[in-house]
Amino acid sequence: MSISARLHAIGHPLLQAQLGHATVRGIGRGDLPEAVFRSWLEQDYLFLLDYVRVFARLAWQAPDGHLGDLVDLAHTTFHDELSLHRSMSAEFGADLEGAVKGPACAAYTAFLLESAASYAEGLAALYPCMWGYSNLGRILAENPPKEPRYRAWVDTYADPGFAALTARIGQMIDEAGPDPDRAEELFTEGMMHELAFWDVP
């Protein structure tokens, strides 16, 4: 079994925990209180800024065959995903410029930036975010919310292009060859951060 397949196997129960979280259920139904989603948008915006930095730190260490992927991911996250956040934040009245990291966001970004000191380990640590959201989007899209703003969020992460980027990261992990036990440890910790992130301040 490949390393990425091992990560998927241990990730599925933690993905189910996310699907059962009140915030995720509210997005899926389209009835999440606006104040909760507004707070989540502010925290995720700050998270994504550091996620770009993680991609950049890994790109500096990347083998030639992975360099373009990481540069593209940093570019896509900075320009496309953050642009989505800005437009959605305007609809929900979120204050992106005045936002301050809550404990979950601060802990998660610190974990990712520290893990990115090692190339192969950094890939395993960042994988839960992409893998989790790709699967959340796919599952929620099976019965999407009627509320158009939440539907737009679901559609973003259910997009086949996002699934392809996620699959590429899994392939890169296998090619980078981290210690399997260490990769599982980092992936599990990342998935736990993902779950905690839904407890918006």
pLDDT tens for the chain, 201 residues long, are 999 999 999 999 999 999 999 999 999 999 999 999 999 999 999 999 999 999 999 999 999 999 999 999 999 999 988 988 899 999 999 999 999 999 999 999 999 999 999 999 999 999 999 999 999 999 999 999 999 999 999 999 999 999 999 999 999 999 999 999 999 999 999 999 999 999 987
Measuring CA to CA, which residue among 59, 49, 15 is closest to residue 172? 59
CA distance 67 to 98: 33
Q: Give the containing element (helix H, strand E) for 82.
A: helix 82-92
Which pLDDT value is given to residue 84? 85
Which pLDDT value is given to residue 200? 85
Q: Is the dihedral of CA 115, 121, 126, 128 positive or negative?
A: negative
Which pLDDT value is given to residue 85? 86
pTM of the model: 0.95
